[in-house]
Structure 1
Amino acid sequence: MAGSVRRQGATDGEAATEGGSQAGKAGRTRRTKIKGKARLREKKQRPAQSVRLSDHEHAIIQAGADAVGMSVAGFLAHSALAAARDQSRTAVTIATERDVLTELFAMRRQLGWAGSNLNQVAKALNSGGEVPYLKEVLADVHRAANAAKKAVDRVANRQEQEGEAA
């Protein structure tokens, strides 16, 4: 191979194919615009945290970060620190969510029982029988519907309060 010099499988003037340095590209710097507001930071290396989000959660957080001109990481850090500093509000929010979930599970049980009773009533009526407990079954259905309305109202009120606070 007279006249050619081999460097990582490439002749002079050709690009290297194995990930090594390439002629004419040394010293290139990245010119990316850093988005968001900078936070004051210590100069030493800090531990990094990782968060897994659904696409929907990420879209909500991205929109919040965009609205205040911050990066997603900065927005998450700022939001988490604000929540951690206000323990009483965080505890109230968690307790409210727990109460709503408990109420929703109870409502689901009530709806299951009411639906089962309603099916028994329908079967009895369709076969020509009498249903002496019809009023009780209808009362169960009304109780389940009221429980569902109450749970929906609590969730809607919480979302309205969170929207006003933001």
Structure 2
Amino acid sequence: MHADTAADAAVESLPRAADVAALHRVARRRKPDPNGQRKKRVDARYSDEEKAAILAKARSLNISGAHYVAVVTLAHVHGDLTVPGQRTQLDDYIDELNALRRDVAFIGHNVNQIAKKLNSGGHPRPGDSDLLAQTDRTLGSVGEAVRHIAAAANQAVSYKAVQ
């Protein structure tokens, strides 16, 4: 393992301060039951490692494991947290950018076919040189648009990777 890879793995394993603070706020927000006691249960099964991780996190927040599981679950139910692997608005944005890039690139392909046809020889017709010049400008604009869309998609993917 390279030193850079080990350092990257160590940094990735550390929780972000904002995430810890947000989780702590969520854990503290649970309001007491108006009747003084919660009576309904939902059972879940965990491996020994999962249970240990849940209890360790709960202890770090100074709350019980049951309270921790309840507030995290309810936060997700209310849209405050996402489950790993769950699609987010950022995922939708990245997909939209990729679809847009594909569509704009297809326009460029069509314009390129027009230019190929105009350049295929034969006798030029009046206006062909103007049309070729416009085609060249359009291809340049399409290429620039595709590069900008790709850059935006890459930036969104990079942003998602650090979350």
Question: Which category of TM-score, normalised to the shorter sequence, fits these structures?
Answer: 0.3 to 0.5
The two structures have a TM-score, normalised by structure 2, of 0.43
With the length of structure 1 as denominator, give the TM-score of the two structures: 0.42
Decide which structure has greater helix share: 2
